Amino acid sequence: MVKSKKNKKKKIIKIGVVVIIFALFLYWFFVLRIDLSLNFDLCEKEGNPIMCCNDIGNCAIAGTYEWDGSEKGKEIVIPDEWDGNKVTKLGGFYGRGVPFGFGIAFPKEYSITDNGEEIYVYNEGWLSEITYRYDIKNVVFKLKIGKNLKEVGNAELCDYFPKADNKGNITLYHPVLYVECSKENKHFYAKDGKLYYRENDKLVESLEYD
């Protein structure tokens, strides 16, 4: 009888240990790993750039910026906080791994029709496949980064937006950045319009610069 009670006590202890380990794993998985895409969803508060928020980790990702075509609209501000969450990342993923890249979308007039199909964006890798003559022009956007940014995730700045003038000449407009960064940012700094990592002074190569 005594032996039976001891075995029962050991089983209870084992079950308790398993429960604690599982609880710690869940805590690590959903709380400590604040960058987990499952914790992110589109913010209720609309903004430009579009934001994804993680209320568990108190952080947010900045996504696509929609340019209105104006000179004033060429200034992109990444705020310190959005909807109560610190903006810590440019581009990333949300939900079950849905890409949420940081990029710049041009107005609808930056599009042409090719064989009846409307074309908005040309990826750089497709330029060799274009059969008609075109020019390329960079459009410079000033990117202002706040103090809380820690990471640059998937940036989508390799796009070309075609537009034809009244003579039928086609220009592919390509967004590039001139970066300014808050001096309070502990992870990045800007120099001559480019973004660098503070820890090793290396250029952030995933962004495209003027």
Query: Which tokens is 148 given?
Result: 């809380």
- 17-47 pLDDT, tens digit per residue, is 555 554 444 444 444 445 555 567 788 899 9
**Cα–Cα distance list, 64 to 49, 61, 89, 100, 158 (Å):** 5, 10, 12, 8, 13
Q: Which residue stretches of the chain are H helix?
A: 2-27
Identify which has the larger pLDDT, 4 or 125.
125
The pLDDT assigned to 132 comes to 78
Q: Residue 53: what are its φ and ψ, rounded to 5°? A: -115, 150
Q: Is 28 helix (H, G, I), strand (E, B) or coil?
A: helix
CA–CA separation, 210 and 194 (whole Å): 8
Contact 48, 42 (CB under 8 A): no
Sign of the torsion formed by the C-alpha atoms of 140, 146, 150 and 156:
negative
Q: Is 145 helix (H, G, I), strand (E, B) or coil?
A: strand
* Banded pLDDT at 8 (limits 50, 70, 90): low
Instruction: Tell me whether residue 94 is exposed, middle or buried, using C-beta atoms within 10 angstroms of its C-beta: 0 to 12, 13 to 18, 19 or more.
Output: buried
- 94-145 pLDDT, tens digit per residue, is 876 778 889 999 998 888 876 656 666 767 777 777 777 889 999 999 999 9
Contact 127, 170 (CB under 8 A): no
The pLDDT assigned to 29 comes to 47
pLDDT at residue 67 greater than cutoff 80:
yes
Position of tokens 């908005």? 120
Position of tokens 């340019």? 67
pLDDT at residue 50 greater than cutoff 90:
yes
* Banded pLDDT at 193 (limits 50, 70, 90): very high
pTM over 0.85: no
